[in-house]
Structure 1
């Protein structure tokens, strides 16, 4: 072979012998050079590339060492290993146009006021100006952040705790995993329908999951080590646990010596009345509290907090010290600034106003065709309807570029069916377009029909 299609860049940071080796290797792998092909001599190739002969010799030597080339005394340098044969033309994948990403009407993406972006940038500039700790910091989290979180929990959730009682986590799922490690042995009750990630986390921890009806009072938790609930805004039905049921649950937990795991999901976004105080405010000895920055700040921040009953605080701290579990230091510093500057409060107030305006629009569009499962609150609403109608509406939305959730995907044994419509992470125009698609699909089936009662839960 008299020449090779190579191009060496003298200004690149990669040395030219390495460039040559990389390009020749690619020619072999791609099938341009085949086993047994003779390469140009080092002198000829150096003259062709206008480089020193040493550049070519070093490149060849590297490829010989890797087994791609071999030298034959008196004959030259040859390809020693065959490349990958190109696929037949008929089997080569055809180029497809880039598809437009789906617009997600999900339950977890919040609306963040774009007017507050300057505060977000300011927080990260402050992070960049602070030296990180030289080693692993306090496994409970930044002390200053825990002070700010204690203040916020007292102000907004009626939960009076000391900063040292708070553990900063890498989100709700991480907090739940941490808690499961220090709970006594035994199965965990999980609402059904309920938060899918919670059920998966319990299963991943090697614990049995017991389905607990989400829309019924809980009067017994016998045989359970703990029970996971979302009392402020049940996910996904949207129901608020009444005061009497809260007291019954706590009494049942005391009788069974079980821990209630409260996920304070979506709690700050009530727009009809003030947010319901946290269940943990009624019994700090019996309730473990999980909070998150995902809905008020951003899911990608991956930060949350855990307030554990005093009896579990010591074992949890010891485990985190051994495993170096801890949330990201830069994320903690950023959240501290966002809380200190009032950014989180501003974003929550703006989001609450936005959700209060969007929720009735969703209700006006869907109420002729389905039954609202719970009060209008938070960043999504759930609509009960037969599964076939829900699937037809979901499929029509997908065809139009919108993704909505099926209620049946949150259920394990309850049999609930319907649609779960998020309205936080979309624009007003996108929401209106999605609602138009859904209502057209639902109108084919006529007005709402009573949904058959779900089957009774299994014992």
Structure 2
């Protein structure tokens, strides 16, 4: 028989279908709806011999789980029928244990809400003096103008979901097996078609290898290419660190308003050169046509490889499209792209368009199975590209980012006309020139305004020469639309007054 409950009293049991519990190993696992201990969850309890028989053993196990914090306040317990069945106990035994723990204050029970750990049943203080705690990272600033990420609120959720549904419906059965290190053939063909049309890349799908983003590609290439690698004197230190970790030595190519000075390459002994030809990062501007030609001449004459980071190649505002260097010589250039800026870094999808002589080496290094890039997300991206949704999204974001860039330029013209703004013809960031020796103080002043922004010196190679000087790298892609005005105001407040 079920234990009787007096009228008006809450039953210490959950409703139908609330959850399951097992006597097996494992902590509490969240069930349907994402609530710990909610419907469909499992509960690990170890019953030990002792006074009170099986009911006493169950009560001790539940108290211990609450006392140690394994069952947090508010956690919903499985219905007593379910727990009884899984632990091999009588239903009355579990119901009586629940009722007694409710009476003791360990649990609470409300009609329709089930049985839960009481809020006041948190683990007691050990009595030992507590050490002052410090956060592992600073508090998130109020405003964010750090470069490198798109507006996360603008992700095309509806269109992406439609592509995901179509891709899942059409996916062959083998797509749910071990992943191919080359990447899904659907994505490689879609990427080849898009790059040929939009970026002037000569892309054979057989030479495309899917990766989990630019960093993943650089890790692989750093192990495949043997020798010193030339990099631009300003760029992401993270990328240089990846090459160093792969055992590669880097040296800096000076940059100016026309991009990297590639005349430094002949006779340097470099095996490869990592460049951002479409939009030099972070100073801005495309690589001059004459330097593009000289770059290819060097690669052909000395057997070098160009690693082309197509940074911001799709976001241009005041200039004609600049095609990829890879189109000049697919046998000497590795074209690397991703959706981190155009869609979201959360997707972790990118690609390498490789010269034929590097394909097998990269695949051997990746191994027999794809370890990082999800096959289902690859299929979704393939549909997103083939359906035209990607083009529509890029055009929409190009308009949005151009408006933000224009608002940035207008705000500076009104409130800080003495500050020079460069690198604004394309991309998701601008460079603000600062008086010599003021960069660090301006970054600190921005922090006082609750603004996260980075100084230009952060991107400088340790051996860089001919440096551009002090400046700020202002990313206008990150803030959501409603927060952009506040970020601009904080930036203007942090800038130094006219000389």
Q: TM-score range by the shorter chain?
A: 0.7 to 0.9
Residue segments in structure 1 that go unaligned for 5+ positions in a row? 1-7, 31-45, 53-82, 448-459
Q: Secondary structure at the match of 1:133?
A: helix
Are residues 1:151 and 2:151 paired? no
* Alpha-carbon distance in structure 2 between the residues aligned to 1:330 and 1:102: 36
Q: Secondary structure at the match of 2:472?
A: strand
Are residues 1:351 and 2:397 paired? yes
Partner residue, 1:334: 380
* Alpha-carbon distance in structure 1 between the residues aligned to 2:125 and 2:379: 50
Partner residue, 1:13: 20
Residue segments in structure 2 that go unaligned for 5+ positions in a row? 1-10, 23-44, 48-57, 71-91, 99-123
Conserved 8 A contact 2:437-2:470? no
Partner residue, 2:211: 169
CA offsets 1:301-348 (integer angstroms, 9 cap, x no match): 011110111221222233334464562212101111211221110111
Partner residue, 2:121: none
Are residues 1:380 and 2:433 paired? no
CA offsets 1:273-324 (integer angstroms, 9 cap, x no match): 2320001111111111101111111111011110111221222233334464
The residue correspondences of 1:12-411 to structure 2 (distance < 5 A) are 13-14=20-21, 17=47, 20-21=60-61, 23-24=63-64, 27=67, 50-51=96-97, 85-88=126-129, 91=131, 102-111=142-151, 114=154, 116-129=156-169, 130=171, 131=173, 133-183=175-225, 185-215=226-256, 216-221=260-265, 222-322=268-368, 324-325=370-371, 327-366=373-412, 368-386=417-435, 388-411=437-460
Question: What is the CA-CA distance between 1:237 and the residue it aligns to?
Answer: 0.5
Conserved 8 A contact 1:229-1:261? yes
Conserved 8 A contact 1:393-1:438? no
* Alpha-carbon distance in structure 2 between the residues aligned to 1:23 and 1:232: 63
Q: Secondary structure at the match of 2:362?
A: helix
Q: Secondary structure at the match of 1:219?
A: helix
Question: What is the CA-CA distance between 1:139 and the residue it aligns to?
Answer: 1.6
Partner residue, 1:446: 498
* Alpha-carbon distance in structure 1 between the residues aligned to 2:383 and 2:327: 26
Aligned residues: 391
Distance 1:9 1:173, change over 3 A: farther
Question: What is the CA-CA distance between 1:230 and the residue it aligns to?
Answer: 0.2
* Alpha-carbon distance in structure 1 between the residues aligned to 2:313 and 2:251: 25
What is the TM-score when the length of structure 2 is the normalising length? 0.70
